[in-house]
A and B are shown apart, each in its own frame.
Chain A
Amino acid sequence: MLDSILVANRGEIACRVLRTARAMGLRTVAVYHHADRGAPHVSLADSALELHAEVPTAAYLDAAQIIAAAERSGAASVHPGYGFLAENGDFAAAVEAAGLVFIGPQPEVIRLMGDKVHARAFAAEAGVPLAPSALMEESFEAFLDAAAGIGLPLLIKAAAGGGGKGMSIVHDAADLEARARTAMSEAERYFADGRVYAERYVEQPRHIEVQVLGDGRGNVVHLFERECSVQRRFQKIVEEAPAATLPAELRARICEAAVKLATRANYRNAGTVEFILAPDGEFYFLEMNTRLQVEHPVTEMICGVDLVEAQLRLAGGEGLPWTQDAISVTGHAIECRVCCEDPARDFLPATGRARVLREPHGPGVRFDGGIREGQPITAAFDSMIGKLVCRGDDRTQAIDRAVAALGELTLLGVDHNIDYLARVIDHPAFRAGALHTGFVTEHADTLGAPVLDADARAAVVIAAALGVDDFRRLAYDIPEPYASIGGWRN
């Protein structure tokens, strides 16, 4: 059993980890950059050490300073949260080299899963389905044959590149050769490497992931799946568990695949195996995240577990807390990521100050926050400032509770996506479970801010005007009998 912990993170996840650690009686240590002084995670820990860096994010990426802080504070273990150093194998190794417990998988597993090519190969070996693909090795003709064998539609892209350069989608077999040649020449031009790569293109894919826990001794359990199909700018904004609609047999196969992969990796601690699910029911390995996910609370709420507690117990040398049979799903949970950004301007990150922050409450409502009222919101960190998680007996109840809680959640002083999230989850297509990763784009027309009529606009400006002293005084500070006589003229 661990007796102390340093949380090498900030914001809501640092708070999340610290709360469980405190509840388990661990001595807790926070680290923070000057920009985060006064942030909730700093005061939540028993002690807090400042990290120094010009750029605030650099502080939380500075492995040496963090390990030094752990040693200085006498913390026996380090929890990396997510992001920053969470999937840095060298960091995990350095933590362990310093004689501390790294709360996460083995460094080599982190490195393995962090390398996409090796991870794919490892998954293939484990018998986990991969999207059919073909890589041009020597012969262009051989590549064309192999690509044609994958079936349509196809995504062709530069083997060496990214960012959409040289990428095209082939819907018609007749176009394949011409598209492949174009892709080759673009690949040559942009990356000085003419090799191209073809992969089954999944239209309207869903993002399904499986939560796993391993003890590092070959034992792995899964805690069912989560659906994270609603994304913007390739980042998840709404997640739920279980998946919106998933046949039991398919769900079993997906979970089984995840367990297979984790078992083969001799996985230790919490991890997530991500899949792409095609409309035809085929699913393909995407990647494995070797850490606690942002969206882990939806799993906690339907399984009735505390994943951070499980992480700490596993790191403390205890075995898996549950057998697979003991884990079951009750109800449905939805998470909405609250981000300071402007949905009307392509989700551009917003800055300001959280002048008013009122968190929602109610049955099945959980708000994992990481800022305090009055805190500045700068561009230095990720725009996500908290997560609203709501559980219901079924999906509809979970959605209803989340819509209501988003209505209650008040954040004033900085642009945010709270209203937008409510429109997303209250959207008929979302309620119908018609999800895919292009959901936000597909429904952009109906997800915009509502157009207010004159009376509704009047209500808004009246509410605002009564918040302006000039106007408020005029409304309320007119003495009698003037106030009663009103606009009389003789």
Chain B
Amino acid sequence: MRRKSLKYALFMQGGVLLLLFLLQFFLPAYHHSSFSKIMILASYAIGYNFLLGYTGLMSLGHAMFFASGMYSAGLSIFYFGFTPLEGMIFGTLFTLTVSLIFGLFALRTKAVSFLIVTLMFGQTFYLAILYYNEFTYGQDGFSLTDYLGTLSILGKEYLYSDPAIRYNFALILLASYLLITTLIVLSPVGRILIAIRENEPRTQLLGYNVFSYKLFALTFSGTLAGISGAMHALLYSYIGTTFAEIHHSISPLLWTLLGGAGTIIGPLLGTGIMFYLIDFISGITSNYLLVVGVVLVLTIIWFPLGIMGTIRQKWLKWLP
């Protein structure tokens, strides 16, 4: 079953990725750039989903990880003259450390307390960026445009902001996230995480060290979010506190729930739908956040499993 599941899953994801790859040659400029954005944000949501969907831990502080990847990559490039690649690596390691330390503390709490602890930690991180404004440029943030240089591929020089670079980097990021989470979810480790989600005390009784599995899930999820943040910094060259705010923590929750928590492809779908929904509504009214609220409420009442979750329940049982 699991092998078959893996085969089907990889087949389907491959199809989606191939489609996304081909689409870049046909999409008009605006949708081309929207798709790049969706893929970056979806990878953030995939990281989030790893924690919520597969381990059953709901966080309201993931913007902290996104921002920590973004700021550590951005600041190291800005101040220490790191190359973008070095910045990415530094950003990844830094976020890994942050999420590990955070996990050691936060995982001592459960359920609602965990939620509030993540929320509060996220808020502290946000305030810290504001407080050290002489270093971080506070609420205004800063731009990396002059610090990134160019990227040379096959002897040709490209800017990081080049639409094609942006699209394909986002696609590569998305593809690797999809692949790696699928592999982990279908591995023994993934089974244990799901067991924790379903019944934590029983998993504990079976002799598994629940805490370290949870710590792994949290660190992994946080690091994925951080890498997305670092990538966002490179491709969009703006770093600001707006990415550390509470709203940016609620977003991946919304995308994941809508698309289907605990499904691999769900967050991508959820992100895409919300992006275009907001884009469409904001053309009609300034109150586009109303839609966010309504979608959240309706989803949680009628589709608690999300779109892909409902599809899996009804038709595609093998969906990971």
Q: Decide whether A and B are members of one complex.
A: no
